[in-house]
Amino acid sequence: MRVARRLTSLPPYLFDALDAKKEEEAKKGVEIIDLGVGDPDIPTPPHIIRACCEALKDARNHRYPSYEGMLEFRQAVASWYKRRKGVSLYAEREVLALIGSKEGIAHAAIAFLDREDIALVPDPAYPVYKNATILADAAYHEMPLLEENNFIPDLWSIPPDIARRAKIMFLNYPNNPTAASVTKDFFKEVVDFAKEYDIIVFHDNPYSELTYDGYSAPSFLSVDGAIDVGIEFNSLSKTYNMTGWRIGFAVGNADIIAGIRKMKTNIDSGTFQAIQIAAIAALNGPQDCVDRNMEIYKRRRDILVECLNNVGIPAKKPRATFYVWAKVPHKFSSIDFAMLLLKKAGIVATPGIGFGKHGEGFVRFSLCVSEDKIRIACERLEKMNFEQ
Ligand SMILES: *Cc1c(COP(=O)(O)O)cnc(C)c1O
């Protein structure tokens, strides 16, 4: 059976070897502490679950939902953006419901890229930007996220001939995997650059509420002119511990939103209404659940970052996200180092190269396990010797 070329041109899955090793260690009876996945371990708040249970009983919610999402859902998104980000949106044409933001990101690439087009993608990055570009048969140009630039791309160093051919740009702050964050000044620069070269900006912002120490993550759309050039993806997944529910949204430029909507009408049939109603409860309801999450992640972050630095794995405390992006000590490759952590300490961390070649030299730890387990991980790390 021969699959399409676009499938064979997807890069190989780099975590295969690590997954196999993880199973091997688990079989030996080692208690694996998985700091690999970015998937909240904290349950969805009860008031959100209750809203869904009620909605399930209503037969009107059992039918095909609308492609763009219920108007009440889009209004809830618009007022949440106004309250939390100071951004005004027209619910009717500037908000689109998504079956998780991953779906929207992939469909956006297919909706806007032709064969000769270039997508500007950060590297390292969430793999969907690059892979959806490949699935759209388009080309990509990597924007390196380097430590010396605080993991922010140097836009004006992109060769002008590439920038002129570029149709879209993906960005993601607060960032996965580097945990970097930006101020509005960077987004102003992005708008100038996008206008200069006529580029559509897709800003992916699922960690917008996962911030610490008084930092508040801006929306791309909070900058003048941003709505002329782009949209922002956001999601209930990380903010409300709802990764399994599959609900996110896109907000911003009405023409871009219409393009993604058209794509969706031909591929899926919208988000289950009971889940949209749960999402309305999340967006309109009390937000103290988010603050409580962040207190939990903050404690885990502080324990882990302190321990990493003590044992010779340099890491900074991030201002946002539930990731810690740490430097691989000595001459290890990121894969060798991840293997060593697994073999010697039963700890899973994601090798940076899995997010792109500029991720080499780093590993990503996620904070999605209990404080107790993080403490155990730290005890195990303290017994290792990285000097050899
Ligand atoms: C988790 C994540 C997403 C996907 O979120 P869903 O809404 O669950 O699809 C998108 N982008 C980044 C950078 C993520 O880390």
Nearest CA to ligand 1 atom 3: 102
Which of 197, 257, 202, 258 lies closest to 226 in space, CA to CA? 202
Task: Report whether residue 235 contacts ligand 1, using a CB cutoff of 6 Å.
Answer: yes
Judge contact between 242 and 44, C-beta under 8 A. yes
Assigned domain for 387 exists: no
> Does 317 map to a domain?
yes
Q: What is the Cβ-side half-sphere exposure of residue 291, based on CA atoms within 13 angstroms? A: 4
Do 265 and 308 have their domain in common? no
Is pLDDT of 388 > 70? no
Considering only CA atoms, which of 104, 40, 96 is closest in space to residue 290? 40
Q: How far is the CA of 56 from the centre of ligand 1 (A)?
A: 26
- State whether 207 and 353 are in the same domain: no
Residues 173 and 94 placed together within one structural domain of the fold: yes
Neighbours of 142 (CB within 10 A): 17
Distance from residue 355's CA to the centre of ligand 1 (Å)? 14
Domain boundary among 284, 307, 325: 284
Answer yes or no: is pLDDT of 387 > 70. no
354 located within any domain: yes
Domain of 245, CATH number, reads: 3.40.640.10
Separation of alpha carbons 32 and 346, rounded Å: 5
pLDDT of 13: 73
Phi, psi of 372 (to 5 degrees): -60, -45
Q: Give domain status of residue 242, yes or no.
A: yes
For the segment 228-250, what is each residue's pLDDT rounded down to a tens digit?
Answer: 999 999 999 999 999 999 999 99
Q: Do 219 and 267 belong to one domain?
A: yes
Helices within the chain (DSSP H only) = 5-8, 16-27, 46-56, 71-85, 91-94, 101-112, 128-135, 160-165, 184-197, 226-229, 254-265, 273-284, 288-310, 334-345, 371-382
Rounded Cα distance, 168 and 200, in Å = 4
**10 with 113, same domain?**
no
Q: How far apart are CA 204 and CA 175, in angstroms?
A: 9
Regarding whether 79 and 30 lie in a shared domain, the answer is: no
Closest Cα to atom 10, ligand 1: which residue? 102
What percentage of residues in the chain have a pLDDT greater than 90? Answer: 91
The overall average pLDDT reported for the chain is 96
In a domain, 14, yes or no: yes
Q: At what angle do helices 46-56 and 273-284 cross, to 10 degrees?
A: 150
54 and 173 share a domain? yes
Residue 298 sits in the same domain as residue 348: yes
What is the structure's pLDDT at 283? 98
C-alpha dist (Å) from residue 127 to 121, 159, 243: 10, 23, 17
- Same domain assignment for residues 93 and 228: yes
Instruction: Find the domain containing 378 and state its range.
Output: 5-43+288-382
Q: What is the mean pLDDT of residues 183-194?
A: 98
State the distance from the centre of ligand 1 to the C-alpha of 384, rounded, in angstroms.
Answer: 33
As a whole number of angstroms, the longest Cα–Cα distance in the chain is 65
Q: For the whole prediction, is pTM greater than 0.85?
A: yes
Give the mean model confidence (pLDDT) for residues 270-299.
98
Domain stop point among 256, 284, 312: 284
Q: Is residue 388 in a domain? A: no
Last residue of some domain: 284, 314, 343? 284
Hey, which of 203, 209, 235 would you mutate to test ligand 1's pocket, going by the most ligand atoms within 8 Å of its Cβ? 235
As for how many domains the chain has, the answer is 2
User: Are residues 127 and 177 in contact, defined by beta-carbon separation less than 8 angstroms?
Assistant: no
175 CA closest ligand 1 atom index: 13
Distances (CA, A) of 186 to 172, 180, 182, 226, 234: 12, 12, 6, 12, 19
CATH of residue 22's domain is 3.90.1150.10
Q: How many helices (H) and strands (E) does the chain have?
A: 15, 12
Judgement on whether residues 260 and 128 belong to the same structural domain of the protein: yes
- 173 and 186 belong to one structural domain: yes
Local structure of residue 320 (DSSP, 8 states): B
19, pLDDT greater than 90: no
Same domain, 140 and 239: yes
pLDDT digits 0-9 by tens, 40-97 = 999 999 999 999 999 999 999 999 999 999 999 999 999 999 999 999 999 999 999 9
**pLDDT for the residue 330:** 83
Residue-level pLDDT at 20: 86
